[in-house]
Amino acid sequence: MYTPPMYREYEACTICPRNCGINRNGGKRGLCGEDASLRVAWAGLHFGEEPPITGTGGSGTVFITGCNLRCKFCQNWQISQDGMGLAVTEAGFAEICLELQRSGAENVNIVTGSHAIPAIAAGLRHAKNVGLSVPILWNSSAYECPEALALLDGVVSVWLPDLKTLNPELAANVFHARDYPKAAKKAIRFMADRAPLALTPPDDALPSGRITSGVILRHLVLPNRLADTELVLEWFAEHLAGKALLSLMTQYTPVRESPHAKGIDAFPDRLMTPKEADRLQGLLEDYGISDGFYQELVEDTSWLPDFVRPQPFSSALAKPIWHWRDGFIGREG
C-alpha cells in the first residue's frame, strides 16, 4: 500500500498564498485539493512550447494533479480540479523524469506544481542523484510564496510563470483570489532575481538556442480584456525587460465541458479575434517589447487536451511517456 511521505511544510500548510493552515500529513486536503501524496497525471515530450524550450527533442513535461489557483477557464480541469492522477513515490517521480531524459527530452518541465513544492523538490533531488542532468523548468501560475519557491534552489534553473492578470477584480472573478496580482508579482521578482537569462548559442537546427537559465514570462490573453493585458505589458516593460523573455499566448478557448467553467462574467465565451490580435501587436510596439514569443491564433477547440486518454494531445503536439492509468507507455514491466 502507498503511504505518502511526511513533509514539515505540510503540517499546517501555508506553502501558497491560500494559507489554508491544514495538516496535509494527516490526510487533510486544502483548496488545492491535495493531501501529502504527490500525484502525477501525465508525462511526455511536448513540442508546442516556445522554441528555446521545445528545442529539437521536445520538452519533458510532467503534469501534476491538483492546483492552488483553480482558474474557472482551466483547459486542464480534469487534472487540476477533478483529481485525475496517480500517487507516486519520490523514486517513482524520479524514474518518470529519467525516462523523459532517456527519450530525448531537452529538459524536465514541471507543470502546475505550486501546491506540491516540498514533494516535487525531494523527487527532483532524488532524480538528480541518480542521473538527471537536463535543465529543470518550473511552469506555474505564479500564485506562489518565495519561501516555498526557495525549496527549489539548486534544482530549478528556468522559470515559466504565467502572469494571468494584474487586475484584482478579474482575479476575484475567475480564481477567487483577489490577492493574485500582488502575490504573483512578488513570486516573479523572486524568480528573476534567482535566474539570469542564459541561452545556448543559436545553430542551424535551432536558431533560437536552448534556454538553460532565466525567466520566460507567459501571459494568456483573454477575449475583450486587452486593457488587462496592457497592464501586464507595462509591468513587464518596467521590471523585466532585458532580464527575461515575454511569451504571449492567444490560445484562450472556452471549455464548455468543464463543470468548473461556470460564473465567468468578466469576458465573452469565445476565441480571440484577428482584430484583437492586431491590437495586441500594436501594444507590443507601444511598449517597445520585441524580445519574446507570440502564439498564432487557434481556430477551433480541437486542440483541447483530454487526460482520460494516454495521448491527451494531438500526436503532432506530444509523445506520451507515462499516464496516470497505464503507467509507462510501451515499456515492459
The site for ligand SF4 (CB under 6 A) is made up of 13-16, 18-20, 22, 24, 30-32, 68, 115
CA distance 148 to 161: 15
Q: Which CB atom, from 84 or from 289, has the smaller least distance to ligand SF4? A: 84
CB of 276 to ligand SF4, least distance (A): 33
Q: Which CB atom, from 22 or from 264, has the smaller least distance to ligand SF4? A: 22
What's the grid cell of residue 218?
507567459
CB of 67 to ligand SF4, least distance (A): 9
Q: How many helices (H) and strands (E) does the chain have?
A: 9, 12
- Give rounded-to-5 percent helix, strand, coil for the chain: 30, 20, 50
CB of 66 to ligand SF4, least distance (A): 8
Bin 7: left if φ > 0, else alpha if -120 < ψ < 50, else beta.
beta
Q: Which CB atom, from 32 or from 110, has the smaller least distance to ligand SF4? A: 32
Closest CA to 54 of 207, 279, 241: 207
CB of 280 to ligand SF4, least distance (A): 32
Residue nearest to ligand SF4 (CB): 30
Q: Which CB atom, from 13 or from 87, has the smaller least distance to ligand SF4? A: 13
Determine contact, residues 301/270, Cβ cutoff 8 Å.
no
Give the angle 75-177-281 at the CA atoms, nearest 5°.
60
Q: What are phi and psi of 51, to 5 degrees?
A: -50, -45
CB of 21 to ligand SF4, least distance (A): 7
CA distance 119 to 122: 5
Q: Which CB atom, from 20 or from 156, has the smaller least distance to ligand SF4? A: 20
Closest CA to 107 of 47, 195, 191, 39: 47
Determine contact, residues 153/194, Cβ cutoff 8 Å.
yes
Q: Which CB atom, from 15 or from 222, has the smaller least distance to ligand SF4? A: 15
CB of 84 to ligand SF4, least distance (A): 17
